[in-house]
Chain A
Amino acid sequence: DADVTQTPRNRITKTGKRIMLECSQTKGHDRMYWYRQDPGLGLRLIYYSFDVKDINKGEISDGYSVSRQAQAKFSLSLESAIPNQTALYFCATSDFLASTDTQYFGPGTRLTVL
């Protein structure tokens, strides 16, 4: 499903570097989310946004920041990457008007911090 895209798909970086992960969607959804997935820990919510002017912290927001540049774009930044931020990152969207809370996920970005 190409409705939610993430770039890059893979990234290797060094400790202390600033990294931006980007998410775009063509589904027309107003809500967007960033999660990280770690083995044995499932998916944990980093940040979420219900519209362009609305940004909310999730369960594990420390060390991350986000920007909702437009309804269709939601970027996640690691200001100074550290090794324990090595993980698989997923963006997701949902449609408030649909009232089903079903989230649609992007393909993920595998980030390695050395």
Chain B
Amino acid sequence: AQSVSQHNHHVILSEAASLELGCNYSYGGTVNLFWYVQYPGQHLQLLLKYFSGDPLVKGIKGFEAEFIKSKFSFNLRKPSVQWSDTAEYFCAVKDTDKLIFGTGTRLQVFP
């Protein structure tokens, strides 16, 4: 079965800093990959997803992620974070008929 690793458990940044959150999945073949965000006190919302085609995927709020098949990675990036990006971020991979989530990365952005 697939598994997902998010190695950054807690990231602290100042506003305007660049962000990259790591996500690795366990094995190759055709993969469907997702990033979800959970703002404080809220439910999970989809940030972006990759199914096929261009490996650079753009999502909402200026986020993007790059699928690198050779590295089994799907890292999330944002060139300049804002205080409002403070949230927990979850990477997920489709495994047969369900999603497998990573353990999440907590991002804190200070003004």
Contact = CB atoms under 8 A, between A and B. Distances in A.
Interface string B77-111: 00000000000001000100111011110000000
Contacts of B32: 101
Interface bin, chain A: 20 to 34
Given A40-B9, A41-B103, A102-B49, A58 B98 contact: yes
Nearest to B101: A43
Contacts, number: 48
Given A41-B103, A50-B97, A105 B90 contact: no
A48 interface: yes
Interface of A: 1, 4, 33, 35, 40-45, 48, 50, 58, 90, 92, 100-108
B8 interface: no
Interface of B: 6, 9, 32, 34, 36, 42-46, 49, 51, 90, 94, 97-99, 101-104
B24 to A, nearest CB: 14
A101 B95 CA distance: 10
